[in-house]
Copies of this chain bind each other. A is one copy, B any other.
Amino acid sequence: MCQLLAMNCNVPTDIVFSFTGFAMRGGQTDTHHDGWGIAFFEGAGVRHFVDHQAAVNSPIAELIKRYPIKSKNVIAHIRKATQGQVALENCHPFVRELWGQYWVFAHNGDLKAFAPVLDGPYRPVGSTDSELAFCYIMQQLRNRFGTERPARAALRAALAELTQEIAAYGTFNMLLSSGAELFAHCSTHLVYLVRQFPFDTAHLSDEDVQVDFSQVTTPDDRVAIIVTQPLTSNEQWTAFQPGELKVFVDGMPEAQL
């Protein structure tokens, strides 16, 4: 199993605080030492960092903790290998292009006997069940909607069906973003919170670090953090329901349609 972390915001925000705690689980406070990765949207572009070293030992993770890259949508992953060897091509998040947008995907869980027919342009490079599921999602979205991206509600409905279909093969906690919004599906473990005015101080669970967000924000800022297990010890995290798909836009979950 692995752990997932995502951030969705209304203004570009750095993820240094949350990533610092999360990266500790990549080999120090937890056993997810088979690689890690993170992708930041910046406009339509993506900064994509993957490493097959444990996050706690990685010079690239060190850079991320020090270099405040600002983004409205971030997806990160630390890996404990279940399927697929420890190799760079098996590190999440994965990136593909669809409808002239980059799509970023990460998965926590294990799929058994999941062998969809891939007859379209999306094919896995590595050997994980996760990348296979991502390619299947890309293929099915393209098959269903053709050459143009549909409205968000149609996309959400299609992803609710697709994630349910895939989750029937095992555990499928997943994060997906094209930079405009963030989709999160929970099979077993996923929690979130929204930080907004009035901001307060947050304490990391995995390291003795705290930040007073009221000092580094404006009253209009809003940030949603989605993660496998709560990252802070003094904030209220809300658990997803099993089978639930949420869409985060501008730092908050979109109301269910």
Enumerate chain A interface residues (CB-CB to B < 8 A). 42-52, 59-60, 63, 66-67, 87-91, 95-102, 119-126, 142, 147
User: With A and B bound together, what is the CA distance between A206 and B58 in angstroms?
Assistant: 30
Contacting pair B125 A44 (CB below 8 A) = yes
- The answer, among B47, B59, B60, B122, for a CB contact under 8 Å with A97, is B122
Nearest to A119 among chain B residues (CB) is: B147
Contacting pair B101 A121 (CB below 8 A) = no
- Minimum C-beta distance from A217 to chain B (A): 23
User: With A and B bound together, what is the CA distance between A225 and B191 in angstroms?
Assistant: 48
Are A100 and B125 also in contact (CB < 8 A) when A43-B87, A87-B44, A88-B47 are? yes
User: With A and B bound together, what is the CA distance between A88 and B123 in angstroms?
Assistant: 25
Are A97 and B96 also in contact (CB < 8 A) when A48-B48, A88-B43 are? yes
- Minimum C-beta distance from A101 to chain B (A): 6
Contacting pair A45 B88 (CB below 8 A) = yes
Contacting pair B50 A59 (CB below 8 A) = no
- Minimum C-beta distance from A223 to chain B (A): 21
User: With A and B bound together, what is the CA distance between A98 and B95 in angstroms?
Assistant: 13
Q: A60-B67, A95-B95, A121-B142 are in contact. List 20 more A-B contacts (CB 8 A).
A: A43-B87, A44-B88, A45-B87, A45-B88, A45-B89, A46-B89, A47-B50, A59-B63, A59-B66, A60-B63, A96-B97, A97-B122, A97-B123, A98-B121, A100-B123, A100-B124, A100-B125, A102-B125, A119-B147, A120-B121
